[in-house]
Amino acid sequence: MRQSTYRRIQISGVFIILSMSSLMIYWNSYQLTRQTTEISIKICPKNPPFLVGPFVFHHFNGTLEDLNNKYQKYKPELGGKFKPLECKPREKVAIIIPYRERQRHLMDFLSHMPPMLLRQQVEFTIFVIEQDPLGQFNRALMTNVGYLEALKQDNYSCFIFHDVDMYPINDNNIYKCSTSPRHLAAAVEKWKFGLPYPDYYGGVVAYPKTVMEKTNGFSNLYFGWGGEDDDLGFRLAVVGLKCVRPAAVYGRYATPVHGKDKGCPLNPDRFTLVKNAKSRIWYDGLNSVVYTVSKIEKKKIYTHMHITVDRQKQEESPGGSVSKTAGVSVTRQQVRFATLLFSQGYF
């Protein structure tokens, strides 16, 4: 009886030893697999290896569903968040497009941009910020809205504010941020691949999050066409920054000819606003923008936000009208913001 019991114990002991051996094999296999996976997914290089240099812009004649199918191999997340599959990106980039009634240009943009950005190994999401059809279009206000709403979606560190009808034609113009704001559109087709004047900062500009915070974003007062890009230059000057540009050979943009927007006439107050731009920076911007998000559509390859703007309410906010350019009453939060910038030597 004792002998039988001893054999059972021995058999159990062998079983335990075998089980432990199997467990160690499984564990070692798991560790090896984990290490191999971690080694294979490296940080993306600073100089992307798949760039082709200059390339040609083509109009897109298909449908949105055609683009959805085309980009499924890149495995975008719902809402149009793309990541390089071969490496871990260095930053999260939000592409912000102020938009209204430009469907033809939007389709061209969605066809043209993702392949280039994926060659650049950028992690990006395209946000289309559409202002409601009533009232005059306010491009700069839409950039503020895009910045604030994108941050509610993810922790983006780089923001590229992009006209929908400007298309880069050299992928060496990398869509990333640095410590300074970057004016990417250095050579524009409609100006014979130049700029209208040296301090022009329009079309496409890349802002790190830190610079958006320093400048209080953009002005909210430019209803209609013109002036907001010049206002941007003055804001940067107040905080001691200036836009840098890529070499003109890289920063080239195609700009197909199109008619003027009916809902965006010339802003008659633009010169007065630009003249007083420096005095408004602390109370006219991210801390005073007034808007309502009507709808958010997370499509397969981009996020579409519908924004309603009440101009009267915007102009009733601190610094919200052309006449409020000095001596305006500001909130405690805005005073703290200005005091912080003053303590850091920005004015």
Q: Please tell me the distance from the alpha carbon of residue 268 to that of residue 288, in angstroms, as a whole number.
A: 22
pLDDT attached to residue 270: 80
pLDDT attached to residue 262: 64
Tokens of 221: 């007062």
In this structure, the number of other CB atoms found within 10 A of the CB of residue 75 comes to: 10
* Mean pLDDT (10-residue bins), the chain, 347 residues: 44 41 48 47 92 96 96 95 94 96 94 97 97 88 97 97 97 94 95 90 94 94 85 90 94 83 70 85 92 96 96 78 42 41 38
Distances (CA, A) of 327 to 291, 319, 324, 330: 25, 9, 8, 9
pLDDT attached to residue 260: 63
Q: Which residues contact 26 (CB under 8 A, 6 or more apart)?
A: none
In which region does residue 332 sit, left (phi positive, over 0), alpha (psi from -120 to 50) or beta (all else)?
alpha
pLDDT attached to residue 347: 32
Q: pTM of whole model > 0.85?
A: no
Q: Please tell me the distance from the alpha carbon of residue 206 to that of residue 280, in angstroms, as a whole number.
A: 22
Q: Please tell me the distance from the alpha carbon of residue 321 to that of residue 316, in angstroms, as a whole number.
A: 7
Domains recognised in the chain with CATH numbers: 64-343 (3.90.550.10)
Q: How far is CA 241 from the centre of its chain?
A: 20
Q: Please tell me the distance from the alpha carbon of residue 261 to that of residue 266, in angstroms, as a whole number.
A: 10
